[in-house]
Amino acid sequence: MKNLKKIKTALISVFYKRNLEKIVKKLDDLNVQIISTGGTEKFIRNLGIKVISVENITSFPEIMDGRVKTLHPKIFGGILARNENKNDKKQLEEFNIPIIDLVIVDLYPFEETVRNSKSEDEIIEKIDIGGISLIRASAKNYKDVFVVSSQNQYLEFIKILDKNQGITSIDERKEFARKSFSISSDYDRNILNYFSKKNILRYGENPHQEAYFSGEMEKIFDKLNGKKISYNNLLDIDAGLNLISEFKETTFAILKHNNACGLASRNNLLDAWKDALAGDPISAFGGVLICNKNLDKKTAEEINKIFFEVIIAPSYEEEALKILKQKKNRIILLLKENKNFQKEQFRTILNGFLYQEKDLKTEEEIDLKTVTKISPECKEISDLLFANKIVKHTKSNAIVLAKNKQLISSGVGQTSRVDALKQAIAKAKHFNFDLENSVMASDAFFPFSDSVEIAYNSGIRFVIQPGGSIRDKSVIKFCDEKKMSMVFTGTRHFKH
């Protein structure tokens, strides 16, 4: 094994002293020289173990009640010097800087202090400056330095000390360096949350789960009325804003559990509302409503007839607001123009997180490739693009049926594409929609031709889908036989 290093000099500066005794005694047994400061120094000295004061090295006292202790070139030079670098070594000698090859830090407990809701001054005082600098510098120089960046790592570190009598490998040092940046990024994320006045929510998806939102809601909307916005409201608001942003025409959408259960584009908002609601007046109960035009009195009067949780509009007529405000709990949001959404998505899974770019692709007419003998006409193309926009924002597997810029029904979140279609057809029938000449959008390709067959038998004549299945040919063949028209977008829109 190469890149083995024996620990010779340790700098220790920790907040919690629990389990520290073991480490210090072990280091002393291994003849490691210990440098320390403040309370840690006293703790070590009280154990009867020799310790060099940081001040002795820097010739500079601790100042400003400990705000400045270790931030000195004689300390950081000793941590950051590269063993392989001749110039670094020369400078160590020139300035009489001791090499430090082990750094043990336990940071000021910032989050704990916030949780115990101390005064602002006390909380700010617990922002660790020196400790973070120490662990980051040590982690950067992991080739030569071992860094322990939290009391939670003491036991694991003791094992490493025991295993090889103070000799550490490059892999061990790098792994602990990695941990350091996890500690430091989390630490500053917590401070950020504190400064951002993180919005504590009543609870998460369910009452037994604690939750908060971190971000600046007030930059996206003003709350004009209503109770506190909940975790589930926020999920729906996010889904709703992403969905509505696809539509330029006057459009109303109704969301439940992050999916649209109604949506229509019309010449005026009242009609858009009525035809959105017609899509599924039952699911609309308790939903999140969103539109992209000034909310007028007439529309407000209609909306007021149903029970809903949240309404979002870019502006409101004064009379409309008066009507909507009649219910005290109803959340009324005024959308601002500055919708500076993130273009990246993170979500936790397993023991880490998934990152991806957001799905920002919106198909236009130019993206469509007709694959059947019959091409869709202008009006049909408009419906196909309309349905495709909705299916993009619907959970997979998803099928959307639409006609005349109205969402007729959708099959959402299904484990099979055929089920999604069947569900959409059943819903359309339940609400007495005529599927004759309607369009179908699919968020992914059809693996078999069964779906278009079922669609045809229900009156659907126009299909939009990404394409790309090994059985595309048989799907196209069926459409051609039945004089259906189908376009491919080339872009899948899975969403989970």
3-class DSSP state of 411: strand
Catalytic residues: 140, 257
Listed residue (470, 158, 406) closest to 266, CA to CA: 406
Does 167 contact its own copies by CB under 8 A?
A: no
Which CB sits closer to its own copies, 76 or 386? 76
Q: Are 469 and 432 in contact (CB under 8 A)?
A: no
**430-459 mask for its own copies (x: CB under 8 A)?**
-----------------x------------
Which CB sits closer to its own copies, 173 or 405? 173
Burial-class residue 417 by CB neighbours within 10 Å (0-12, 13-18, 19+): buried
Cis before 397 (ω within 30):
yes
User: Binding to its own copies (CB under 8 A): which residues in 287-306?
Assistant: 287
Does 427 contact its own copies by CB under 8 A?
A: yes
Q: What are φ and ψ of residue 30, in 5° steps?
A: -85, 10
Please tell me the distance from the alpha carbon of residue 58 to that of residue 66, in angstroms, as a whole number: 15
Among 397, 406, 442, 458, interactor with its own copies by CB under 8 A? 397
Q: How far is the CB of 1 from its own copies (least distance, A)?
A: 19
Q: What are φ and ψ of residue 109, in 5° steps?
A: -80, 80
**258-277 mask for its own copies (x: CB under 8 A)?**
xx-x----------------
Which CB sits closer to its own copies, 16 or 353? 353
Among 86, 159, 328, 496, interactor with its own copies by CB under 8 A? 496
Alpha-carbon separation of residue 273 from 264, 279, 435, 444 (angstroms): 7, 10, 21, 29
Q: How far is the CB of 351 from its own copies (least distance, A)?
A: 5
Q: Which residues contact 157 (CB under 8 A, 6 or more apart)?
A: 23, 104, 148, 176
Does 114 contact its own copies by CB under 8 A?
A: no
3-class DSSP state of 227: coil
Q: How far is the CB of 419 from its own copies (least distance, A)?
A: 7
- Considering Cα of 20, then 22, then 25, then 31, what sign does the dihedral take? negative
Neighbours of 482 (CB within 10 A): 15
User: Binding to its own copies (CB under 8 A): which residues in 175-194?
Assistant: 177-178, 181-182, 184-189, 191-192
Q: How far is the CB of 450 from its own copies (least distance, A)?
A: 9
List residues bridging with 9 in a β-sheet: 33
Which range, of 208-216, 270-278, 312-320, 457-465, touches its own copies by CB under 8 A? Answer: 208-216
Which range, of 149-157, 311-319, 338-346, 370-378, touches its own copies by CB under 8 A? Answer: 338-346
Does 357 contact its own copies by CB under 8 A?
A: yes
